A and B are shown apart, each in its own frame.
Chain A
C-alpha cells in the first residue's frame, strides 16, 4: 500500500515568489492535513481538508492557502514568499480518527 507522497522533495524559491506543494494521500484516506516544521517554531498545524472542504485552520497568515481535489489529493500554496517561510512542509493523511500518516515532506528554501 503506497504511503503519503509529497512532491517535490526539495524546492528553492526567491523572496516574493509563490510556491505550490502537492500531497497524495494514502488510497482511501479522505482527510489531508498540512504542517510546517522549523527549528524555531517546531511543528505547527496549517490546515486540514476533508472531501474538498477545509475543516480547520491554524494560525498562519492568508498567504498560506490550500485546497483538496475530488480524488483527495491536496495542494498548498504560499504566496509572496518570505525568508521565514523556509521550512519542511509535511502532509498527513488520515482515515477517520485512526491516526495520521505523514509523508516525507517538502523542504522549501527561500533565498
Chain B
C-alpha cells in the first residue's frame, strides 16, 4: 500500500540555520505530494504542494521538489525562525481522495 517515511525528530536548529526534513514515499501511480504544518493545539495547515514530477512547491520561504526518480519530496528552508517551530507532515494523495501521512517531524528552533 501507499506509505510516507519522514526523518525522525525532533530536529533542533538555531535561528537562521538551514533546514532539511527528508520525506520519501511509496505509492502506485503518480501521487500529489504535500507538506502540512501543525502548530501546538491547532489543526493542519497546508504549507506547499506539488502535483507532478519536477514540480517545485514553495511558500513562506519553504521549498520542496517532487523527485519521481528518488520518490522523494524533501522540505527545505534557507533560514529558519523561532516561529517555524512546529510539527511538519509529509503526505500524498493518489487520487483516492484520502491523504496518507508520514509520522511527522517536530522542529524546534532556538533563538
Contacts and interface: CB of A to CB of B under 8 A. Distances in A.
Interface of A: 4, 6, 31, 33, 35, 42-45, 48, 50, 55-56, 58, 90, 92, 94, 97, 99-105
A90 B34 contact: no
A45 B91 CA distance: 12
Given A43-B89, A99-B34, A99-B49, A105 B97 contact: no
Interface stretch (B13-21, B60-68, B74-82, B99-107): B99-107
Contacts, number: 53
Given A97-B32, A99-B34, A102-B43, A56 B98 contact: yes
Interface in B16-41: 32, 34, 36
A100 B91 CA distance: 11
User: Chain A binding site: helix, strand, loop or mixed by DSSP?
Assistant: strand
Range class of the B interface residue count? 20 to 34
A90 B44 contact: yes
Contacts of A104: 42-43
